[in-house]
Amino acid sequence: MNDQPLYMGKISYINASPVYYGLDRGLLPDWLKMVPDVPSVLNRKIMTGEIKISPISAAFYAMNHRDLLLLPDLSISCHGRVMSVLLASHTKMDDLNGKKVMFSRESASAAAFLKMMFHRKKISPLYEVGDVSDFFRVSKRADAVLVIGDAALVNPWHQTFEHCIDLGQLWYDMTQLPFVFAVWVVRRSFAEKNPSRVSHIHGLLLDSKRQGDQHMEEIVEAGKNKLNLSSSVIREYFNLLHCDLDDKKKRAMRLFFDSLLDQGIIKERAEICFF
């Protein structure tokens, strides 16, 4: 094994905890260094080469599919409601034409998905990207806000906004398919030069995820402590999340990517290519 340290991204939200359970508890070799951050920063770092393997937004994979390869059987997905990807709005979604919709900087998939949904409904909001962590301030500045990750779980969006639309549920109602928010990828150039190393890391990730699946109560407890929420809320959240990438999820990704192409959000058809 090459002794040079290798840097691998890690989503800093609790949603990726099951995948990293084993790596956080002894599976991580000395030469593999984890870089925790939000999805949008991991997106950027994998394209600059600062990290070689990482979870990234599924839409960002579609935008850069020529440079990346998917790692099999790893994703962050949902079948319907997801709780951590919300459009919080003072009005119904259909009434947001010409109104200000704020996006977090943290996700490419959710932002691309929401723009696609507005386009399908022939709604043209005014988009603004900014800090949405202060939910009370945002509620005064915008008509609606897209919020993802831990912030969606922690803040009382339902108390501040009249409508809270779960994007996982919205997609399922439209397609009867799961939605894939994040995928694990490797830089194509790195994989071509280091296939055995990538295979080894992929195996570590799958082993780590298997351990996580066997210790969900411990993961729930850690999430409860990190976010200061009840065990029942955190358990419900993890029950809605899926970290695999089966045929149905691949089909859902193809539909999502083709929809992004139809709306002009991506410029060419994104091929789903695995390491």
Give, for all 275 residues of the chain, the pLDDT tens digit: 556 899 999 999 999 999 999 999 999 999 999 999 988 899 999 999 999 999 999 999 999 999 999 999 999 999 999 999 999 999 999 999 999 999 877 766 788 888 888 988 899 999 998 888 777 888 899 999 998 888 889 988 888 899 999 999 999 999 999 999 999 999 999 999 999 999 999 999 999 999 999 999 999 999 999 999 999 999 999 999 999 999 999 999 999 999 999 888 889 999 999 99
Same fold, 6-77+180-262 and 85-175: yes
Residue 124: partners with Cβ closer than 8 Å, 6 or more residues away: 97, 98, 118
Q: Which residues partner with 86 through β-bridges? A: 147, 166
Q: Is the pTM of this model over 0.85?
A: yes
What's the pLDDT score for residue 151? 86
Place of tokens 């059987």: 73
Q: What CATH number matches the domain at 85-175, 3.40.190.10, 3.10.180.10, 3.40.50.300, 1.10.3720.10?
A: 3.40.190.10
CATH superfamily placement of domain 6-77+180-262: Periplasmic binding protein-like II (3.40.190.10)
Domain ranges in the chain are: 6-77+180-262, 85-175
CA–CA dist 229, 233 (Å, integer): 7
